[in-house]
Amino acid sequence: MSRACALLPIVLALAACATGAPKPAAVAAPAEPAKPAFALDEASVADLQRRMSAGELTAHAIMQQYLDRIAAIDKAGPALNAVIELNPDALASADALDAERAAGKVRGPLHGVPVLLKDNIDTADGMQTSAGSLALVGAAPTQDAAIVARLRAAGAVILGKTNLSEWANFRSTGSTSGWSARGGQTKNPYVLDRNPCGSSSGSGAAIAANLAAVAVGTETDGSIVCPAGVNGLVGIKPTVGLVARSGIVPISASQDTAGPMARSVADAAALLTVLAGADPRDKASWDADKHAADYVRALDAGALKGARIGVLRKQANFHKEVNAAFERSIALMRGAGATIVDPVEIPNADKLGDAEMTVLQYEFKAGLNAYLATRRGVPVATLAELIAWNAANADRELPIFGQELLELSQKRGTLSDKAYKEAQATIQKYARKEGLDAVLKKHRLDALIAPTNNPAWTTDPLNGDHYTGGSSGVAAVTGYPSITVPMGQVRELPVGISFIGAAWSETTLVRLAYAYEQLSKARRAPRFLPTLP
């Protein structure tokens, strides 16, 4: 496996990372461990809203049940370690929203619904925003991230923050996904010694295990779709600019976006409807209102009929059981009336890996320095200070892997450098103009499909991630949208299928993903197995 692949899910050499994995012996799985019963198990956003409207539940009661669930299986029991911090104001917020409902005011589909946020998203409340780093623990941010303001306005209750791969997995070439110095290691709820992927590790594990209704993750390359895929979830990586990034710890202005992680396409669509929109603090989002929509209205079980879907075969060289599930998915779509164009190849994809890494390093340095300038009461104000702080606190911050990517980024110059501009031009040419845009136009496609991921690897703090393949890079480097949907399980481990489209094609992708989901019904709740045979 190439070093670029080992950086996943942040850095993906587009065509080089899809490798097979050895097949384990076919023996029985371990016995399912006992776990507490949960009244809201697999409850959807619509379910919660309906029960509150009927007076069966209050937002306070829902919040308390999720808090009890977190205590029972995140902090005790399987000890998933997905939630890094709880919001001390959650119950009070729920009470206020219950009072609004009693007075006849309901803000929308998320009114009173608990949402978890990845811990790189600013909240100006009683919680920290740390990106998993002890260097950002101190005073809370002074302003909510734009998407947090939108969530609060929509009546959502911020239940807490989720653990993540520290610095969104952009700290080391030997990192372990789901680990942060502040939060420790998150487990995969399906098989506890397997990795939850990252960097939105806690968001993926938490929603899979029913610790909240929905969560928000962030992605630069794979950090929503990979943890969604290996945790049996729907994850949406929107077009860059549809969801504002102000108040989110950055990696790349070209590729960063926040997005929904949920147990169903309908829940993800409801959350994306709230998240999407312009923000004056993020120039990339200034046209978002022209493209944002009510994505719940796009849910159409018959949407595959007449759709033209291209198969990315070079991204489909996965474990043979993943490939088999992918073939079954293609057959389902064809049977539902889709025209399948197979294969479709994105030319020159192999030319993008080095350009992507160059862009990420330049933009990380510029973006992080700008973000740190907004924080008060924390011990670092620049990337250089962060590197020095980590070295001075190596026993706590660097116990299992280093900070090579931080150091490489610090060595980069400014965004006016020739190397940065050339790398950006390479991506624009080969990824967009002569890449995804050309392929979609040539074949008149509504979307491309590929497996999202191979089954989760064992967590290995000594050697780091053993990532064996994914398809996130196609959408990541272009800044275009993708949606992963559960495709099945391989030996108890979930795998997903990704729908990838043109810029601003979220409505189309939601329609297709929902139609596929209704046919496949592939999501299975986790059983918290300790290991595989």
Which is the catalytic residue, given 44, 93, 118, 130? 118
Q: How far is CA 436 from CA 13, 167, 347, 502, in A?
A: 15, 29, 9, 7
Q: How many CA atoms lie within 13 A of 246 on its CB side?
A: 18
The pairing of beta strand 447-451 with beta strand 308-312: parallel
Distance CA 491, CA 295 (A): 33
Name the token pair of 400.
């299992």
| Residue 23 is a catalytic residue | no
Residue 299 has phi, psi (to 5 degrees) of -65, 115
Q: Confirm whether 223 is a catalytic residue.
A: yes
Type of residue found at 497:
I
User: Are 365 and 412 in contact, with CB atoms under 8 Å apart?
Assistant: yes
- Alpha carbons within 13 angstroms on the beta-carbon side of residue 206 total 38
Query: Dihedral, CA atoms, 219, 462, 185, 252, nearest 10 degrees?
Result: -20
DSSP string, 358-369: HHHHHHHHHHHH
Out of 133, 172, 199, 471, the active site residue is: 199
Please indicate whether residue 521 is annotated as part of the active site: no
Host H or E run for residue 228: helix 225-230
∠ CA 74-79-84, nearest 5°, is 50
Out of 201, 223, 264, 285, the active site residue is 223
- Annotated active-site positions, please? 118, 199, 223
